[in-house]
Amino acid sequence: MNITNVNEYEAIAKEKVPKMIYDHYASGAEDEWTLKENRNAFSRILLRPRILIDVSKIDLTTTVLGFKISMPIMIAPTGQHKMAHPQGECATARAASAAGTVMTLSTGATFSVEEVASTGPAIRFLQLYMFKDRNVATQLVRRAEKAGFKAIVLTVDSAVFGHREANIKNRFTFPSYVRMKNYEGMGLERTKDSSPASVTNGIYDGSLSWKDVKWLQTITSLPIILKGILTAEDSKLAIQAGASGIIVSNHGARQLDYVPATITALEEVVQASEGRIPVFMDGGVRRGTDVFKALALGAAGVFIGRPAVYALAADDEAGVRKVLEMLHDELEITMALCGCPSLKDITRDHVFTERDRPRIAPRL
């Protein structure tokens, strides 16, 4: 399969999976303004390369929560990988492990934490929604600990299910072969209405608040990353609540439309965090230059979601490996051409954003 960039996998996936499933993966909330903006915002950020710097050796390695990984590019939590490929999250996990990076397993995965762990040793995080039954959350966290997962990623932007019109038009329901394996044996049996909104609103807790972040710390010693923060105000509250990290995320533009692109919100959150905890981002990353721009604006790393799912649908584990390889190589080239032999050499001065225009406007 002669693939030259990440975007090409989407067209292949669109042909391979049923329309209803492709639309479920690809669509956003309501008018999908934020869905488009997640990509468009990257195009408005320009690079400021520096020259005549020794870039004969480029180092992409970094650490996340103390764990060394090969590059600042990780797999975001996305649900129901089995709809893309029969090997589902197990194939994705093997690809991430081979690439030497982090995979985040969704609560709504079609393979359990134990099944994913059985694919071999790796650095893996568990994404968690807060269940109405706190005992379910406790059991799932304990299972993740036992299976060797290294962090809990608590999604905080899903008090209710977003208004996703593509799913409504298609009358989308999870196929009969899709089972949320982490739910089995926990009193969360499948209901007759297996639409995503029904499943989500039926078992996840809309009353989730900052006190629950504190509660989560009482049941686990694992670091807790909060996913879904877009403002300086909430980043400060996250630090006060004891979060170990933040993921700037708008849920792939699937929850609330007309919120900023994550790359647009990133710098505000980074500045508010004042370096006290690492800030990551997801949403719209399709090129190594996108990764570079995020790092220049203060991100400690990025997570990719849809690209991994599309590649999985198109070419199994090999596709996911190829996506990670292409992004790695593109970032390496970008760093070299911008005069950055290591990640620590990437600075705010390497990018020009719309916010910088007043600062450099010529005097009249």
Catalytic residue among 24, 85, 251, 328: 251
**pLDDT score, position 179:** 85
With tokens 């134990």, the residue in question is 114
- Residue 281's H or E segment, with its range, is strand 279-282
In whole angstroms, what is the distance from residue 249 CA to residue 183 CA? 25
Residue 325 lies in a domain: yes
Residue 239 lies in a domain: yes
**pLDDT score, position 258:** 98
How many domains does the structure of the chain reveal?
A: 1
Residue 49 lies in a domain: yes
Q: What is the 3-state secondary structure (H, E, C) of 80-109?
A: CHHHCCCCHHHHHHHHHHHHCCCEEECCCC
**pLDDT score, position 48:** 98
Residue 361 lies in a domain: no
List, for residues 148-184, the tens digit of each pLDDT value.
999 999 999 988 888 899 999 989 988 888 888 988 8
Contact by Cβ (8 Å): 351, 51: no
CATH number of the domain that 243 lies in?
3.20.20.70
Residue 197 lies in a domain: yes
**pLDDT score, position 193:** 47
| Residue numbers of the chain with a pLDDT score lower than 50 | 193
24 is catalytic: no
The per-residue b/e assignment along 144-181, b for 16 or more CB within 10 angstroms, e otherwise, is bbebebbbbbbbbbbeebbebebbeebebbbeeebbbb
Alpha-carbon distances, residue 158 vs 129, 134, 163 (angstroms): 8, 16, 11
Give the domain extent around 322.
8-356
**pLDDT score, position 237:** 98
**pLDDT score, position 363:** 54
Residue 173 lies in a domain: yes
- Find the angle CA(126)-CA(128)-CA(132) to the nearest 5 degrees: 150
List, for residues 276-330, the tens digit of each pLDDT value.
999 999 999 999 999 999 999 999 999 999 999 999 999 999 999 999 999 999 9
